[in-house]
Structure 1
Amino acid sequence: MRTLATLLWRRLDQPGHDACRVSLHDAEYRIEGCAVFRHTDGRAAQLSYRVLCDTRWQTRAATVRGWLGDASVHLSILHDARQGWLFDDVPVPSVAHCLDVDLGFTPATNLLPLRRLNLAPGQEAKVPAAWFDPSTGILQPLPQTYCRLDGSRYHYEAPTLGFEAELRVGAEGLVHDYPGLWRAEA
């Protein structure tokens, strides 16, 4: 295993932190971390995550373990070309067109499209993601657009959420400033 990056984020909209490590294991990229935060409904949460990708940064699998208030969380998300997306072994046809998983409780998964697309400044891409929102507990499509502004900034938009922002990323590709939501700690 070779560690490529580590980062600690502080949540801005409510109490919380997320610690993440990106590593390479043979021919597999891994994004692993743990987010602790106060959920929007006031409950405390601790969610550990692991995302496995191939060498093109396409999601193969993700797991989330932990708790949200008094509810245990233990889920798996699998993706392959033949079966599509499986959420806890159940097919989810509505996200069949998505290449990336987006775990809605961490900024870590923004790394997937940023690395996979490798946009040049001025380039834009629509990249719908298979989005897991812990508020709903389901996997659903999330239309997203990334436009690279320069070497460290992207305009990001998720129109169904009514959200857009200018993301600042580090050299390793992780989002360092997610306005109003997350900021990397120095």
Structure 2
Amino acid sequence: MNINDAESAPVILWRRVDQHGHESARVDHVGEGWRLTGTAVFADDAGPCCLSYRIECDAAWRTVRTRVTGWIGQRTVDVEIAVAADGVWRMNGVEVPQVAGCVDVDLNFSPSTNLLPIRRLNLAVGERADVRAAWLRFPSLALEPLQQTYIRTGERAYRYESAGGAFVRDLTVDEAGFPTRYPDFWEREGD
């Protein structure tokens, strides 16, 4: 698959395994960079949720801009995140100093954003890398730093760790880098 060919832009459909829900995402080569878009529809304690996102990255897969819109129960969501060249992050125009210097955005409600460091790091089998992501928590939508570790354990397999090793999952990914199996939370549907 040529990820640069719009005719073959990678797309995926996931099913939630811990509650009712689905998500679909797509990655496109746009100009000199990349765009990851998707929509997650799922049940939550607050009620039905529908969250659409657009993440723009530069040529090296570094997050530049993110927009999340939709609803969580009765609450309307419209979040705009921008990253300046100097590593300063702003959410809805307000600087968020605790995530300064982060490279990736991580959407807590979606498996799609694991693709960003997987593509950016391009680890060889057996290699590991620590990253610090700007984590958009769900359902609070607070932007917080999250220390993460990616270890490539196979051709299409990664061990993902966060919160100092308190959260660990073995991810299976497709050739584009989308997780096809995120144990306890998401599985790819169809082919």
TM-score by length of 2: 0.93
Question: How far off its partner does 1:128 sit?
Answer: 1.1
Distance across 1 between alignment mates of 2:47 and 2:154 = 38
Which of the residues 31, 42, 50 maps onto 1:26?
Answer: 31
Query: Does the aligned pair in 1 maintain the 2:88–2:95 contact within 8 Å?
Result: yes
What corresponds to 1:101 in structure 2? 105
SS of 2:9 mapped into structure 1: strand
SS of 2:119 mapped into structure 1: helix
What corresponds to 2:65 in structure 1? 61
Moved over 4 A (4+): none
What corresponds to 2:14 in structure 1? 9
What corresponds to 2:122 in structure 1? 118
Question: How far off its partner does 1:83 sit?
Answer: 5.9
TM-score by length of 1: 0.95
What corresponds to 2:139 in structure 1? 135
What corresponds to 1:147 in structure 2? 151
Query: Does the aligned pair in 2 maintain the 1:28–1:52 contact within 8 Å?
Result: yes
Identity over the aligned pairs, expressed in percent?
A: 43
Distance across 1 between alignment mates of 2:178 and 2:10 = 9
What corresponds to 1:91 in structure 2? 95
Deviations 1:87-114 (CA, angstroms, capped at 9, x unpaired): 1110011011310000111111111000
Query: Does the aligned pair in 1 maintain the 2:96–2:143 contact within 8 Å?
Result: yes
Distance across 2 between alignment mates of 1:150 and 1:134 = 30
What corresponds to 2:182 in structure 1? 178
Distance across 2 between alignment mates of 1:178 and 1:94 = 28
Query: Does the aligned pair in 1 maintain the 2:151–2:159 contact within 8 Å?
Result: yes
Query: Does the aligned pair in 2 maintain the 1:142–1:160 contact within 8 Å?
Result: no
> Where does the alignment leave 5 or more consecutive residues of structure 1 unmatched?
none
Distance across 1 between alignment mates of 2:109 and 2:165 = 14
Distance across 1 between alignment mates of 2:121 and 2:79 = 27
Deviations 1:141-170 (CA, angstroms, capped at 9, x unpaired): 011100000101001101258210100001
SS of 1:115 mapped into structure 2: helix
Which of the residues 72, 78, 82 maps onto 1:74?
Answer: 78
> Where does the alignment leave 5 or more consecutive residues of structure 2 unmatched?
none
What corresponds to 2:50 in structure 1? 46
Size of the alignment, in residue pairs? 185
Distance across 1 between alignment mates of 2:166 and 2:86 = 33
Range 25-34 or range 48-57, more displaced: 25-34
